[in-house]
Amino acid sequence: MVAFDKCETRPAHIDAILNGLDRYNPETTTVFQDYVAQQCEDRTFDCYANLALLKLYQFNPHLLQADTVTNVLAKALTVFPSPAFSLCLALLPAYTQPFPTTTDAQTASQASDFVESVQKLSGLSTLLESAQYTQFWSTLNSDDLYADLIADVAGFEELVRIRIAVEVGKAFRSVSAETLEAWLDVRSRDALEKFVADVCGWKVEGGVVRVPTNKENEARSEVKSERVGVDMFGRVIRRGFELPV
């Protein structure tokens, strides 16, 4: 899987901005905003470009576009468990954070819709990071606002399902089909079998999903040996024979 901070599809003009002084030019915010929209459409993710945009917003708060910020955060959810979401969240105004100060809370009241959106996405990130996948899907489906927040991100559910499957494949050799249906929010056994076969290369046998052995889920013993020579303790032994002054 490609690292979250690599983007092989980054356009040349975006690369030029990121490697030059224009990355600090407020006029480039429109370029980055268009690039975020492009990422949402073609299912790519460019962490460094998105962080550069959020840094520009940090320097120029009057340029901040709430819809673009929520799109950046929603895209970051699709590459969990990477630190992308946390990095993006850290560049947002203090009043959007889950635990604002009194002053921040007063500021937040003036932009309550934006703050609510950021905190709802932050809650989804927490559920994914803590592997509460069933709760993630039930929360996502519980409020129309969540649907609005991910509406611009093409294939959001599919991308998240793939990430969940990757994490499951790292931790399990087998898992009940019923459990995996809940984790992936797949509605039927046929749909589950098709997903695990086409996307993951796994098999469903008698109500159990079999995950092939890989370097992450393989059970293996690890033997560690340490070589400790007397010379390593020379100073300790010498101090033992020294007379106190």
- Convert the pLDDT of each residue in 187-207 to its tens digit: 888 999 999 999 999 999 988
Do 50 and 135 lie in a common domain? yes
Do 30 and 120 lie in a common domain? yes
167 burial type by CB count under 10 A (0-12 exposed, 13-18 middle, 19+ buried): middle
pLDDT value at position 183? 96
Do 202 and 137 lie in a common domain? no
Do 21 and 68 lie in a common domain? yes
pLDDT value at position 213? 85
| 176 assigned to some structural domain | yes
| 185 assigned to some structural domain | yes
CATH of the domain at 126: 1.25.40.250
Do 196 and 82 lie in a common domain? no
The string of DSSP letters for 206-225 reads TTEEE----TTT--------
Of 28-37, 100-109, 119-128, 230-239, least confident by mean pLDDT is: 100-109
**Mean pLDDT over each residue of the chain, to the nearest integer:** 88
pLDDT value at position 175? 93
| 230 assigned to some structural domain | no
DSSP structure class, residue 119: H
Q: How many CA atoms lie within 13 A of 128 on its CB side?
A: 31
Q: What is each CA distance from 226 to 11, 150, 166, 237, in whole angstroms?
A: 50, 52, 35, 20
Do 88 and 181 lie in a common domain? no
What's the rounded Cα separation, in Å, for the pair 59 and 230?
58
How many structural domains comprise the chain?
2
Give yes or no for residue 8 having a pLDDT over 90: no
Do 167 and 77 lie in a common domain? no
Q: What is the pLDDT of residues 196-243, one digit of tens each?
A: 999 999 999 988 999 888 888 777 766 666 776 767 667 777 776 776
Do 64 and 163 lie in a common domain? no
Phi-psi region of 185 (alpha: psi -120 to 50; beta: other; left: phi over 0): left
What's the rounded Cα separation, in Å, for the pair 99 and 121?
14
| 236 assigned to some structural domain | no
Q: What is the pLDDT of residues 87-98, one digit of tens each?
A: 999 999 888 876
| 228 assigned to some structural domain | no
Do 77 and 180 lie in a common domain? no
What's the rounded Cα separation, in Å, for the pair 50 and 39?
10
What's the rounded Cα separation, in Å, for the pair 142 and 36?
26
| 240 assigned to some structural domain | no
- Under the banding of pLDDT at 50, 70 and 90, the label for residue 26 is very high
Do 148 and 76 lie in a common domain? yes
| 138 assigned to some structural domain | yes
Do 13 and 129 lie in a common domain? yes
Do 127 and 37 lie in a common domain? yes
| 226 assigned to some structural domain | no
**Helix segments in 43-153, DSSP class H:** 47-59, 66-77, 84-90, 102-108, 112-129, 133-140, 144-150
Phi, psi of 208 (to 5 degrees): -125, 135
* Residue 2 structural domain: 1-97+111-154
Report the SS3 class of residue 47: helix
- Under the banding of pLDDT at 50, 70 and 90, the label for residue 1 is very low
pLDDT value at position 218? 78
What's the rounded Cα separation, in Å, for the pair 6 and 245?
61
